[in-house]
Amino acid sequence: MTADQPDVSRTFAGRRAIVTGGLSGIGAATAALLRMRGAAVAVLDRAADADVAVDVRDAESVERAISAAAERLGGPADVLVASAGIYRIAPVLDLEPDEWDDVMATNLRGTYLTGRAFARALVADRRPGAIVNLASTAALVGDADEPGAHYNASKAGVVSLTRQMAIELAPHAIRVNCVCPGVIDTPMLRLMDDPAAGERYLRDSVPLRRLGTAAEVAATIAFLASDDAAYITGAALPIDGGSTLL
């Protein structure tokens, strides 16, 4: 670190954070980074080994989980990273209503329910805070190779939800932003199942010609949740190596 570079090692000292879907991929990387930078973090996930178990599709489960997280953290959280989500592929002509509902329930309803419960606790306590939702470049562009109308629509909904929440929660000093990751090297990535096709995609469709990493997305999320982004709300930031430029 040089004299003109800020020390980010304790950016979140004294702050409390909730990360949903925080046991793998981007959620796990974000939880680890926030802890490293001084935050007390509660991971909410449907798996039994989470700090707090939750079904983000269920309103009562979410309310209980937010309360349990506050007890675990020693007070209400002031950072929420809503990264719980599922990825499914199905051509729209073959897409069944129950498949559509399943993806919507987790990706969009879950983001709404966790954001609402988190914001209600902050407003009741008259405290500022920050929410970062996980959208996707699938919210911004279609994909002929991995069709997923249900996934794309759910993530487009997250972008729209983020913008509306940002407007409504601004008077309460709660900022709401989202990130739109592209091809990121996580367990959810399907593109590289066929290495040749994956390499061709990176060469032809990603200007930076490589996969992104969960750590790179986590760093952006941490920035948006930090005081360094105090004048940013309602943003939907692509983290995609430039793929949405083409």
Q: Which residues are catalytic?
A: 151
Closest to 115 measured CA to CA, from 42, 178, 180: 178
The helix, strand and coil proportions of the chain, stated in percent and rounded to the nearest 5, come to: 45, 15, 35
Other CB atoms closer than 10 Å to residue 107's CB: what's the count?
Answer: 28
Integer CA distances (angstroms), 3 to 15, 226, 227, in order? 25, 21, 20
Q: Are 79 and 39 in contact (CB under 8 A)?
A: yes
Integer CA distances (angstroms), 65 to 45, 53, 125, in order? 10, 7, 17
Please name the residue that has the structure tokens 């709300």.
233
Q: Are 211 and 185 in contact (CB under 8 A)?
A: yes
CA–CA dist 85, 217 (Å, integer): 15
Q: Are 20 and 27 in contact (CB under 8 A)?
A: yes
